[in-house]
Structure 1
Amino acid sequence: MKFDLHTHHFRCGHADGNIRDYIEAGIAAGLSVIGISDHTPYFGSQEEQPFPLIAMAKKEFSNYVEEVLHLKQEYEGTIDVLLGIESDFFPEHAKVYANVLAQYPFDYVIGSVHSVGNVSIFNKNRWKRLSEEEHIAVKEAYYALIRDSARSGMFQVLGHIDAMKGNYPPFSDIPAATAIDETLQVIAECDVAIEINTSGKTKLSGGWYPNDAILERALHYGVNVTFGSDAHIPGRVAEDLDDVASRLREIGFTEWVYYKNKAKVVVPL
């Protein structure tokens, strides 16, 4: 059984295609389940759309939900369309986000840390002129936020948990093994899944998020895993899905999961 929980569309301002395009791509790829999970609006501001190239406008949020639910019905029996969303995690705005998200019938919510110290994790300039100690501090702050996101109870899935390497490949070599192990332990205790996200190959780092070393530790701690292409164009739906499944089996995983009505569905690998 094949699934992909992480797809975007035009509303976020940095993806191409409409929702139907992604569903049709999922059918063509042989998926049984496709999750639509565009970026939430930025609820930490009173502005309608403070970041038009990053997140959808607030007025589009209900339209997004309505469209996915309509397509879920239309494609019933052909492919299971799930209503998901990708939400940033800002501790200072967590209650606001949680209250808004609770008003809609999401099958699952992906929690992703995209910013540390008010700077994008993909901004490679943030690393300039930092000492080794400062590199470590940034990495540890990143994983502290991921731990807090797991503990928040807001999410079924945590997105791309080493994506800070995306535009700065040396990130993976910054020593922070204790922080990563602690994070995986917390994720396991909170019964949240991590995704294997194949969009890393579109960044400077190449490869998937997270790397094999983290996946091996995730298996050790009993962390659930899922799959997400993080497709921003329909042609990337389910990209590398079979390769990911094969690699997980090599590491030692025997199953992965997806979520429907916020309930875990276990799928043998």
Structure 2
Amino acid sequence: MSHFWTNYHSHNYYCDGVESPEAQVQAAIQQGVQTFGFSSHCPVPFTNGWSMKRDRLDEYLSEARALKEKYRGSIELYVGLEIDYIPGVCGPADFADQLDYTIGSVHYLGTNWNGEPWEIDGATEGFMKGLVEVHDGDIEGVLRQYYALLRQMVQQDRPDVVGHLDKIKIHNIQGSLYDEESDWYKAEIDQTLDAIAEAGCIVEVNTRGVYKKTLDIYPSEAILKRMRERDIPIMINSDSHTPAEITLAFVDTAHQLRQIGYKMVRVLVQNEWKDIPFDKDGLSLGN
């Protein structure tokens, strides 16, 4: 019984990743990936250090589609974007008709001390400055806004995949800002998971927190257990920014998911979303 991996969350030099899309494809093949998706950060109408420039979008789409044809028979390739959900500014629906799939993520929450979009998954220094100067240190209020925005996204601008669900926890070093076991936090999670389940979105299990931050997968094991109770479909993604990261931490993550009770992952294969069995060695189409 042969095993393989898939990864639909990847970044290359069109945004804040390194190396070319073709270098990603070649590395994916070497790492036993059978289906791979390009998902550069979508263009946004303001300046930041990691999004694709608007004038490069057509080139990105064209190159990705050309690679689909070039490597047909060696690997299945799909063209996506990781799309920022910012109400009134941008969201998955703005790009969906040009793509094979969409990843919807919340990277910004309101505005910062300068009236600019406040990045909530960047450097902790900037996050703390916004928390203190704009939100008077009210981390509970910020988290409630964050999860409310995720709910709004899946209800009003549904992506195929929800990106790094609880990534805002990167600032909660050793529980210094909030307790993930507190009743109010678990209630926010439950409301958000209920909305995701109703919308029928896939939630990615993102391994970047493990290999890059030495933290945890996104979402946490506690959240994954609650997702399992709701039969929310998952996929395993690495959020790779270099070709070498495409399958990092997949084996341990797959084992962890099996321990939780997941037996299937939802993936885009043969141009359809399908549930495929997996174990710690990867996905399998065998019996």
Deviations 1:34-53 (A, max 9, x none): 111001111xx3xxxx4252
Aligned mate of 2:79, from 80, 83, 108 = 83
Aligned mate of 2:11, from 1, 8, 25 = 8
Separation in structure 2 between the aligned mates of residue 154 and residue 142 of structure 1, nearest angstrom:
16
How many residue pairs were aligned? 259
Aligned mate of 2:35, from 33, 52, 66 = 33
Give the aligned residue type for 1:15: G
Amino-acid identity (%): 29
1:1-269, aligned counterparts within 5 Å?
1-12=4-15, 14-42=16-44, 45=45, 50-51=46-47, 53-94=49-90, 98-99=93-94, 101-104=95-98, 106-118=99-111, 119-122=118-121, 123-125=123-125, 126-127=127-128, 130=132, 134-169=138-173, 170=175, 173-174=179-180, 175=182, 176-201=185-210, 204=213, 206-259=215-268, 263-269=272-278
Q: What's the RMSD between the two structures over aligned residues?
A: 2.2
- Whether the 8 Å contact between 2:96 and 2:102 is mirrored in structure 1 is no
Separation in structure 2 between the aligned mates of residue 172 and residue 31 of structure 1, nearest angstrom:
38
Gaps of at least 5 residues in structure 2 are 112-117, 279-287
How has the CA–CA distance of structure 1 residues 202 and 132 changed in structure 2, closer, same or farther, with 3 Å as cutoff?
Answer: farther
Separation in structure 2 between the aligned mates of residue 87 and residue 110 of structure 1, nearest angstrom:
6
- Whether the 8 Å contact between 1:107 and 1:259 is mirrored in structure 2 is no
How has the CA–CA distance of structure 1 residues 40 and 232 changed in structure 2, closer, same or farther, with 3 Å as cutoff?
Answer: same
Separation in structure 2 between the aligned mates of residue 250 and residue 70 of structure 1, nearest angstrom:
40
Q: Secondary structure at the match of 1:117?
A: strand
Separation in structure 2 between the aligned mates of residue 262 and residue 143 of structure 1, nearest angstrom:
31
Q: Secondary structure at the match of 2:64?
A: helix
Deviations 1:12-69 (A, max 9, x none): 1x22111011111110110110111001111xx3xxxx42522111111011011111
Gaps of at least 5 residues in structure 1 are none
Deviation, 1:154, is 3.5
Length-normalised TM-score, structure 1: 0.89
Deviation, 1:102, is 3.8
Give the aligned residue type for 2:13: F
Q: Secondary structure at the match of 2:148?
A: helix
- Whether the 8 Å contact between 2:103 and 2:161 is mirrored in structure 1 is yes
Deviation, 1:117, is 2.3
- Whether the 8 Å contact between 1:143 and 1:179 is mirrored in structure 2 is yes
- Whether the 8 Å contact between 1:167 and 1:203 is mirrored in structure 2 is no
Separation in structure 1 between the aligned mates of residue 270 and residue 87 of structure 2, nearest angstrom:
25
Deviation, 1:11, is 1.2
Deviation, 1:80, is 0.4
How has the CA–CA distance of structure 1 residues 261 and 78 changed in structure 2, closer, same or farther, with 3 Å as cutoff?
Answer: closer
Length-normalised TM-score, structure 2: 0.83
Q: Secondary structure at the match of 1:139?
A: helix
- Whether the 8 Å contact between 2:140 and 2:178 is mirrored in structure 1 is no
Q: Which moved more, 1:207-216 or 1:257-266?
A: 257-266
- Whether the 8 Å contact between 2:21 and 2:64 is mirrored in structure 1 is yes
Separation in structure 2 between the aligned mates of residue 218 and residue 26 of structure 1, nearest angstrom:
29
Give the aligned residue type for 1:162: D
